[in-house]
Structure 1
């Protein structure tokens, strides 16, 4: 079993894992948000909302689009123009089904 980790180190490890997740998602522009939602129940927008919520909990105001830029690594409108595709009927159906059990 691993040695106990102090709170500071745990926060540093969690931050490093989050940065790596962002790098991974930024490199996988082929994976659409609807695919993430259908498979995992969260997407890049969810991450940006959670980031914004965490900032708010610390008394820091971050606008929605600023939080999205942090997650996407570019302005959201740029990401949409470059990488976002129209969802297929199958993706839309799977999304509608997944929303029945998704907790917002």
Structure 2
């Protein structure tokens, strides 16, 4: 069960996470998925869902990436290896609730 943080505290932590992910472009989404079962795209999608329709998924992702996803992908995303993809697939299985 999640603790009941006040909105200001939760928002500050979220903004710090987003800033950290924008800084750490070396942390590949496939590796985040393989370790934690979520990535920048997921975070952007969750932001869009939490906005109650104010943001599209594309806009949510742009807020998380700090630029359009296509631009970030062209600048920073490396091709995924078969090992990374296998680790991601195994990790995603643990997301089922």
TM superposition score category, shorter chain reference: 0.7 to 0.9
Aligned length: 94
1:41 Cα deviation after fit? 1.1
Match in the other structure for 1:3: none
Q: 1:18 aligns with which of 4, 14, 27?
A: 14
Flag structure 2 segments of 5+ consecutive residues without an equivalent.
Answer: none
Q: What's the TM-score once normalised by structure 1's chain length?
A: 0.82
* 2:41 is the counterpart of 1:45: yes
SS in 2 for 1:35: helix
* 2:69 is the counterpart of 1:100: no
1:55 Cα deviation after fit? 0.8
Higher relative contact order (CA 8 A, sep 6+): 2
Q: What's the TM-score once normalised by structure 2's chain length?
A: 0.88
- Which stretches of structure 1, 4 residues or more, deviate above 6 A after TM superposition? none
SS in 2 for 1:85: coil
Q: Deviations over 1:31-58 (max 9, x none)?
A: 00111111111111111111111112xx
